[in-house]
Amino acid sequence: NAGVIQTPRHKVTGKGQEATLWCEPISGHSAVFWYRQTIVQGLEFLTYFRNQAPIDDSGMPKERFSAQMPNQSHSTLKIQSTQPQDSAVYLCASGSTNSDYTFGSGTRLLVI
């Protein structure tokens, strides 16, 4: 069990460029969550999927951020026209009814 895999571990983008972050959940887990972590705001919920369907995206910024889960083996978080304030660690977690959530190591995004 390799755990939740997030790629890339680090990403540097220029202001205005697009960034795509990947998450591979643990096989068999039906739920996938995305969180953002910054020093100032702490851990913020962004969105989550259950059985690949979007369930709650209440934490997603309305513009520029989107998330998808095209199949049960991966989810993506896309940020268009990145801004310096998007710099953060983006954490993905997966879980199921009969198991605890497992977090990945995160993607550290730096927008310069």
Which of 25, 33, 67, 94 is close enough to bind other proteins by CB under 8 A? 33
Q: 14 is written with which tokens?
A: 């220029």
Q: Which of residues 4-23 bind other proteins (CB under 8 A)?
A: 4
Which of 11, 20, 22, 50 is close enough to bind other proteins by CB under 8 A? 50
Contacts of 67-75 with C-beta under 8 Å, sequence gap 24+, read 67/34, 69/32, 72/25, 73/24, 73/25, 73/27, 74/22, 74/23, 74/24, 74/25, 75/22, 75/23, 75/25, 75/32, 75/34, 75/49
**Interaction of residue 91 with other proteins, rule CB under 8 A:** yes
Nearer to other proteins, 14 or 40 (CB): 40
Residues forming contacts to other proteins in the complex (CB under 8 A) are 4, 31, 33, 42-43, 45, 48, 50, 55-56, 59, 91, 93, 95, 100-106, 108
